[in-house]
Amino acid sequence: MSETFQFKLIATDGKARRGIITMPRGEVRTPAFMPVGTAGTVKAMYLDQVRELGSDIILGNVYHLMLRPGAERVARLGGLHDFALWPHPILTDSGGFQVMSLASLRELDETGVRFRSHIDGSKHELTPERSIEIQGLLDSDIQMQLDECIRLPAERAEIERAMEMSLRWAERSAKAFGNQPGKAMFGIVQGGDLIDLRVRSAERLAAMDLKGYAVGGLAVGEPQDVMLATLDETLPVMPTEKPRYLMGVGTPDDILQSVARGIDMFDCVMPTRAGRHGLAYTRFGKVNLKNARHADDPRPLDEASNCPASRDYSRAYLHHLVRSNEALASMLLTWNNLAYYQSLMAGMRAAIEAGGFDNFAAATKAGWARGDLPPYG
């Protein structure tokens, strides 16, 4: 731990980076995967389980928490760490993506965005300053600027307008954040799928000398090759001495390929959402427990895993739980999925330190390509 927010690169292997973020509430080993705790909870998990799997940091969300239970209420109750019994670092998303994807009747201008809640239709306004204020009330350790995230495909003029406004909002967010030595505010690179706009956004944000930088707008349905090409051109412009966060990404393969290009931090609902839909991520690839082939299979998902959900429960039992819509199915498969994601991150960190990232990546991909165990019996 340290009294100030710091990022240190420990090792590099090609473009892959192994680092550590230190701050008053703890350390974050990078590359890091942040489980999504949108409303103050990682769905279907106890937070002590999340910690035991190797999670150093979780994500919370301004949009959801401002609507319910309310940021001021969380502040009165001691902040999000005390409220959720998670004393370790928390990153909060600014709410911009959720306003784009969930809220109705949006009105957006230079000031900010006005919208109706998807919960009860109540009216709200989110500005760069109010987003930072809410994140302060939540007392999160890493705070994100408010940005405008637009759906792709879109016209160049619209992408450029949103990118330029997000830059102005970054300046307003930074001013509202002020000087908080133990915390950080990250700027967000936008620009859609247009490389020249991405580079311009990254250069202008770098000039603001923020404590960290995110790449946003790449989890909105574009193909993986578009995402990777964007990273290939954008990351060289981003400061090497600051952490780099790829927002909302992704599959294990997305993460592996993005680490190879120099990304340090990730978040995604995929492992938790998949767990609630009968899907398990494993070193054999993705396993669909709804399939009848598992009904008589006494083998676990992965006997070599350190996670009890993966190692101890039979596929037949998991299949039964999924087909019966039992709550335990979501709990066990989410536990498995987050365990796999964190083991993947730990493997990459060790491989980068040892100078063997390419071999690790090749072996990991080969395991996915071989596929699941053959049917039982």
- 278: which residues sit within 8 A by CB, 6+ positions away? 288, 289, 290, 322, 329, 333
DSSP 3-67: SS-EEEEEEEETTEEEEEEEETTEEEEESEEEEB-TTSS-TT--HHHHHHTT-S-EEEEHHHHHH
Give which of 193, 184, 181 is closest to 264, Cα–Cα: 184
Helix, strand, coil share (%) of the chain residues, nearest 5: 45, 20, 35
Tokens of 5: 């927010």
Cβ-in-10-Å burial (0-12, 13-18, 19+) of 224 comes to middle
Angle at 196 between CA 211 and CA 262, to 5 degrees: 45
338 contacts 48 by C-beta, under 8 angstroms: no
For residue 125, the tally of other CB atoms under 10 A from its CB is 11
Q: What is the C-alpha separation between 152 and 324, in angstroms, rounded?
A: 38
Q: Is the peptide bond before 69 cis (omega within 30 degrees of 0)?
A: yes
User: Which residue bears the tokens 């239709």?
Assistant: 121
Looking at 147, 267, 297, 302, which residue is catalytic? 267
Q: What is the C-alpha separation between 296 and 315, in angstroms, rounded?
A: 8
Give which of 46, 64, 63 is closest to 55, Cα–Cα: 46
The answer for 191, left when phi > 0, alpha when psi is -120 to 50, beta otherwise, is left
Looking at 93, 139, 193, 254, which residue is catalytic? 93
For residue 119, the tally of other CB atoms under 10 A from its CB is 10
93 is catalytic: yes
Tokens of 40: 């103050």
Tokens of 83: 């409220």
Q: Which residues are catalytic?
A: 93, 267
